[in-house]
Amino acid sequence: MHETHHDGRAYGAAMATIAATTHDPALLGTLDEIQRRVLWLAVRMVDHANRERPPAPVPAGREAEFAVKVGGHMASSASMVGIMTSLWFAHLDGADKVAVKPHASPVFHAIKYLQGELDRSFLFRLRERGGLQSYPSRTKDPDVADFSTGSVGLGVVAPLFAAMTRRYVDAHFAASDPARFIALVGDAELDEGNVWEAISDAALQGLGNVMFVVDANRQSLDRVIPGQKIKKLMEFFDGSGWHVVEAKYGSLLQAAFAREGGDALRRHIDEMSNEHYQSLFALRGADLRPAFLHDADAAVHRFVDDIDDRELVPLVQNLGGHDLGLLLDSYRACDAVTDRPSVVFAYTVKGWGLPIAGDPLNHAALLSPTQIDALRAELGVDDTTEWDRFPDDSPAGRVCRRAGDEVNNVPPAPRPQLPVPERVGGATGAKPVSTQEVFGRLLTGLGQVPEVSERMVTLSPDVSVSTNLGGWINKYGVFHPEEQPDHLGPDRLLRWQQGPTGRHIELGISEMNLFLALHALGLGQELHGQHLIPIGTVYDPFVCRGLDALIYGLYNGARFVVVGTPAGVTLAPEGGAHQSTITPSIGLELPGLSYAEPCYALALDWLLCDGVRRLGDPDGDSLYLRLSTRPVDQRPFADAAARLGEDELRRQVLAGGYRLVEPDPSLPADAPRVLLASCGAVLPEAVHAARLLAEEGIAATVVDLTSPDRLYRNWRGELQAAARAARPADLDSLAIAALIRPDERRTPIVTVHDAASHSLAWLGSVFGQRTTPVGVDAFGQSGAIVELYEVFDLLP
Ligand SMILES: Cc1ncc(C[n+]2csc(CCOP(=O)(O)OP(=O)(O)O)c2C)c(N)n1
Ligand SMILES: [Mg+2]
C-alpha cells in the first residue's frame, strides 16, 4: 500500500504504530468465532432482504413500476467486522456512546442481536418499513443507536460534539458516570470538510474521552483511493493535536517483518500502490504469488520463496484492522491518553472474508446465491442454524451475554417540565425597536428565571456581537473547561470572562459546527441525563451553509432554538451576499422545527418563551426565529392587543397569525377589498399600504403571519385528515379561519414577504382566493432599505 511518507520526515511524536502484544488466546479465539458469526449475520441479513423477503404488496399489474432493489452494503460491513466485534465484545461498557459508519448498520444489528438486545424477528426486517433502518438511527431502530448516521461526515463528529456537551454538563451539573465517545468512520468520510471544521475548533479541544476508529479500507463508493491519502489524514489529525495510532499490519505480517529479510517484504508492501494491493485480495494459491511479486526485488522473492501458497493468502491480507488483539491494544492505547482525542487508523479489507474483497466496485455488490451457500459452509453454520445465537453455555455465548448486560441502552428519562413564563416582559416601550434587539434583552430576562437560566446555553459561530448576544455573554460568561485570566478586564462593551461556569459557547466561523453543536446540546437529556436549552444565533443566509447539519439535528430529535438574524433584504447595506431569501421555506418545510417570523416585541417574547417550553414537551419541537435589525413602531401591535385582548392575541400569535389592522370603518360596506398578509420586518409596509389604500377607497385588512409554518401545518393537517377519513375538510376549525373572516373569503390576497415570494403564495389556496405573491425573487444588492424595498416591490 503506497503509504510511505512523502518527504521522509518522522511523524509527530503523537503518532504511534501499535505492535501486537500477547492476549489470552482463548479470548481471541472466542472473539474470532463471534466475528465470523457477525460477518455471516450481517451479510445474510442483506441477502435475505434482497432475495427472500417477499416484496411489499403492490396494486395488481403495477409491479414493474414499484420494482426497486432493496440494496445494502455487504463489503462495507465486512470491513468493520473485526473493529466492531473487538469493540462491543471486549472493550465498551454501558455508559459509552458510539456512532457507527452508516454502511455498517447490518454489523451493528448483528452484534445487538447476538448480545440479546434485538429480537430475532428483526433480522428479517432490514430496510423494511418499521424494521431495521438502512443506516443506524437513534430514533427509529429498535436496538437504539446512540447517534444516527447516513449523510457521511456528520456521524463522524457527532460523538466529538457529544463529548463537548458532556464536558459542559459535568461542569454545570453534578458530574455523570465517565463515558467514552467513539466514532467508527469510513476513510472516505474524511473527505467531508465538516469533519475538519470540527476537529480544528477550539471549543472541541482537549477531549480525552473521544476515540475515532477509521476503517482504512482505501476504498470509497466509486474507486480505490489513490496515493498517500491515509498518511495525509494521519498528519492532519496529528497537526490538530490528536493522538494518532496506526494499526496497519496484523501480527502475522509484523512477525514476518521481524524475521530476517522481513524489511524487504515490508518495503514492498508499503510501496505497492493501493490499486495493486487491493487487486491481490481476489487471488488464491498459485495465482497470488506472481501478482504479489510484480515489481518486487530479489530480496522479496527470496523471502516469499519460503512461504507456501496456502500461507501466502492470509499473510498478504493480514491487516491491523482484522487483528483482534492489535485492535484491543489500539483502543487501550487511546484510553491511556486522556488529555486529547485519539484516532486509530485501522487498515482493513473492504469485503473482508467475502469473494468480493478488494474489488473496486464492491460498494453495493451483493453475493450470488452460490456464493452465499459457500460462505455459509465456510463460516460454520447451516440452513438450520444460520440465524441462531450462540448457546448460552458456550464460551461465545457467555461473552455475548456478559457484553450485552454491560452495553444495553437504558431508555432516557423524559425531559423535565420547566417553569417557563408566558412572557419575559419589559421588552416593549414607546420607541421603535427591532426584533434582534428585543431578542438580546429577552435572553437576559429569561436568565432571571433560575430553573430555566441554568439550562440555557447560547452558541454562535463568531457572530455573537452582531446577533445581540453581548448582554447575555456579559452577564453569564463564556464556557471554558478551566478558569481563564481576563486580560482585558470588565470595563468593556463586551466582556469575555471564560471559565467552567460560562453559559455561552463560542465557535469559529463554521455554521456546520453551530448546528452539530446544537444537535449535541439538544440531546442533553437523551445522551447525558440533563435537559439543556441550547440557543444558537447565525446570520440568516448562512443557515443554508449548515443546512445538512440542521436537518441531521432535527432528524435525530434534538431540541434547540436557532435564531437567524439579521434576515432578508432588510439588511440592505450589507448587500446581496448577506441577504437571505429561501430560509422561510426551509423553516416551513423541515419537520421537527417551528419557524416563526414575528415583527413586534411582545409577539417575539411570547413565541420565544413558548418555544423554550416546547423544547421539553414530549410532543414539542425546535424553534427557528427569523429576525431583523429594522426598528419597528410598536403601536399597531398595542392597538391589536387592545382590540383582541392580550390572552386572545397571545393565543393567535402562537397559533401563527392574527388580524393586525381591520379595514377602515369609515369606508362604505361595498368598498372594494383586499387582504394584505405579511410578516417580519416588512409588515410595517403592509400597514402603511392599508392606509394609502383607504385613501383610495379600498378597504384593506392586514394580517400578521407570526408563524406561516404553524398555519400551513394546521391547514395541511386538516386536509390530510379529512381526505383520509373521506369527509369534507372543516376549514372553519383552522387557525387561518380567524384571520380571514367568512365575508372576506372571496377577497383578493396580496402576500408580502422579505423572502422569496413563493413562501407565502399558498395562502390563497385555503379558501380559493386570487393571490398575488410579492417578495424577493432575485439576488439582492447593497443599498438603503428604502431602495431595496423599491427594487423588490416591497414599498407601498
Ligand atoms: C453526504 C453524503 N454524500 C454521499 C453519500 C453516498 N455515499 C455513501 S457511502 C459513500 C462512500 C463512503 O466511503 P467510505 O467512507 O470509505 O466507506 P466504506 O464503504 O469504504 O467503508 C458515499 C459516497 C452519502 N451517504 N453521504
Ligand atoms: Mg472506505
Say what the pLDDT of residue 673 is: 97
Question: What is the Cα–Cα distance from 539 to 462, expressed in whole angstroms?
Answer: 10
Alpha-helical regions (H) of 645-757: 646-655, 683-695, 708-724
Determine contact, residues 458/561, Cβ cutoff 8 Å. no
pLDDT of residue 407: 77
Name the residue with the closest Cα to ligand 1, atom 7.
221
Q: Please tell me which residue, 13 or 302, carries the higher pLDDT value.
A: 302
For residue 131, pLDDT over 50 is answered with yes
Mean pLDDT score, 413-432: 87
pLDDT at 11: 42
Most ligand 1 atoms within 8 A of CB, residue of 101, 220, 233 to mutate = 220
**From 14-28, 120-134, 721-735, 756-770, the region with the lowest mean pLDDT:** 14-28
Retrieve residue 122's grid coordinates.
428483526
* DSSP letter, residue 643: H
Tell the residue number behind the cell numbers 365575508, with chain if given: 743
End-to-end, the C-alpha distance of the chain in Å comes to 69
Ligand 1 atom having least distance to the Cα of 187: 16
Q: Give all strands of the β-sheet with 699-704 in edge-to-edge order.
A: 658-661, 699-704, 673-678, 749-752, 771-774
Distances (CA, A) of 106 to 23, 39, 45: 28, 9, 7
Degrees, nearest 5: CA angle 152-157-160: 165
Q: Which atom of ligand 1 is nearest to the CA of 80?
A: 21
| C-beta of 526 in contact with ligand 1 (< 6 A) | no
* 135 alpha carbon – ligand 1 mean position (Å): 12
Mean pLDDT of 514-539: 97
Q: Please work out whether the CB of residue 76 comes within 6 Å of at least one atom of ligand 1.
A: yes
Mean pLDDT, all residues of the chain: 94
Residues 356-387, buried b or exposed e (16+ Cβ, 10 A)?
bbbbeebbeebbeeebbeebbeebebeeeebb
- pLDDT at residue 769, as a whole number: 98
Q: What is the pLDDT of residues 578-591, one digit of tens each?
A: 999 999 999 999 99
Higher pLDDT pick, 13 / 167: 167
Give residue-wise pLDDT tens across range 717-770: 999 999 999 999 999 999 999 999 999 999 999 999 999 999 999 999 999 999
**Complete edge-to-edge strand list for the sheet that includes strand 97-99:** 15-17, 243-247, 342-347, 210-216, 181-186, 97-99
Residue 43 has pLDDT above 70, yes or no: yes
Strands 561-564 and 533-538, bridge-based pairing: parallel
Q: How far apart are CA 680 and CA 677, in angstroms?
A: 11
Look at strands 593-596 and 622-626 and give their pairing: parallel
Per-residue pLDDT at 6: 41
- Which pLDDT value is given to residue 428? 63
User: Among 493, 460, 456, which residue's Cα sits nearest to residue 474?
Assistant: 493
> In a 3-state reduction of DSSP, which class is residue 456?
strand
Alpha carbons 525 and 413: distance in angstroms, whole number: 7
194 lines ligand 1 (CB under 6 A): no
The preferred substitution site among 73, 133, 152, 349 for testing ligand 1, maximizing ligand atoms within 8 Å of CB, is 152
CA gap 567, 759 in Å, rounded: 14
Indicate which atom in ligand 1 lies nearest the CA of residue 154. Answer: 1
Other Cβ atoms within 10 Å of 779 Cβ, number: 11
pLDDT at 15: 67
Q: Is the CB of 187 under 6 A from ligand 1?
A: yes
Which atom of ligand 1 has the smallest separation from the CA of 217? Answer: 20
Counting residues of the chain whose pLDDT is more than 70, the rounded percentage is 97
Nearest CA to ligand 1 atom 16: 188
Of the candidates 365, 113, 97, which has an alpha carbon nearest to the alpha carbon of residue 209?
97
101 CA from centroid of ligand 1 (Å): 9
Spatial separation of the C-alpha atoms in residues 472 and 596, rounded to whole Å: 22
What is the distance between the alpha carbons of residues 792 and 682, in angstroms, rounded to a whole number?
A: 11
Amino acid identity, position 227: G
| 72 C-beta closer than 6 A to ligand 1 | no
Contact 752, 731 (CB under 8 A): no
The tens digit of pLDDT for each residue in 588-636 reads 999 999 999 999 999 999 999 999 999 999 999 999 999 999 999 999 9
Whether the link from the prior residue into 566 is cis, omega within 30° of 0, is: yes
**456: which strand partners?**
533
Task: Check pocket membership of 186 for ligand 1, CB cut-off 6 A.
Answer: yes
Determine the Cα–Cα distance for residues 427 and 408; give it in Å rounded to an integer: 48
